[in-house]
């Protein structure tokens, strides 16, 4: 009887986390679709430009997301494992700062390379529009998420 209850509890527990994971994936896909539509509208790419742009942009975006996750994960993990910033040694703090600088440099190099590739088929005005539009998209997304969070409370 106890095994049956444990089994049911286990199934319920794993189902809950599976649904949570699928919900996050669904949210990510919705955000990605919203971003593609938003950028497409603002950039007004020709068919030829779009064929070249989207594969490059998708690789660039994926790389930037990976760098952001690496930075957040590595830094938070290191600080948390030491019990907070106050418990870090000077050497550990220096290592974390070095990691932050390394990731920042990689972000810069990735973005510069991406812009160089875009400049072979997009005007500088469209590249600048992309930069401004990405910032605008992130601001809108943050406002939208804050609004949802405030409605829940």
pTM of the model: 0.73
Say if CB 121 and CB 49 are below 8 A apart.
Answer: yes
- Give the pLDDT confidence score for residue 12 in this predicted structure: 42
**Please, which contacts does 135-139 make with residues 24 or more away whose CB atoms are closer than 8 Å?**
136/42, 137/35, 137/38, 137/39
pLDDT in tens for each of the 153 residues of the chain? Answer: 544 444 444 444 444 444 444 456 678 888 889 899 999 999 999 999 999 999 999 999 999 999 999 888 878 888 888 888 888 999 999 998 999 999 999 999 999 999 999 999 999 999 999 999 999 999 998 888 888 777 776
The Cα–Cα gap between 102 and 50 comes to 32
pLDDT digits (tens, 9 = 90+) for 44-62: 999 999 999 999 999 999 9
Nearest to 122, CA basis, from 25, 31, 67, 52: 52
pLDDT digits (tens, 9 = 90+) for 4-18: 444 444 444 444 444
């Amino acid at each position: 009887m106890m095994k049956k209850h444990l089994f049911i509890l286990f199934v319920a527990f794993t189902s809950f986390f599976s649904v949570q994971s699928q919900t996050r994936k669904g949210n990510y896909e919705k955000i990605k679709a919203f971003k593609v539509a938003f950028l497409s509208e603002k950039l007004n790419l020709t068919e030829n430009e779009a064929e070249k742009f989207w594969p490059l942009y998708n690789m660039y975006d994926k790389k930037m997301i990976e760098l952001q996750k690496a930075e957040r994960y590595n830094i938070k993990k290191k600080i948390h494992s030491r019990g907070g910033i106050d418990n870090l040694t000077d050497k550990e703090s220096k290592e974390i700062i070095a990691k932050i600088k390394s990731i920042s440099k990689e972000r810069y190099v990735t973005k510069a390379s991406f812009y160089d590739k875009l400049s072979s088929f997009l005007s500088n005005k469209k590249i600048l529009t992309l930069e401004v539009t990405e910032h605008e998209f992130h601001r809108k997304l943050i406002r939208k998420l804050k609004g949802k969070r405030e409605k829940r409370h």
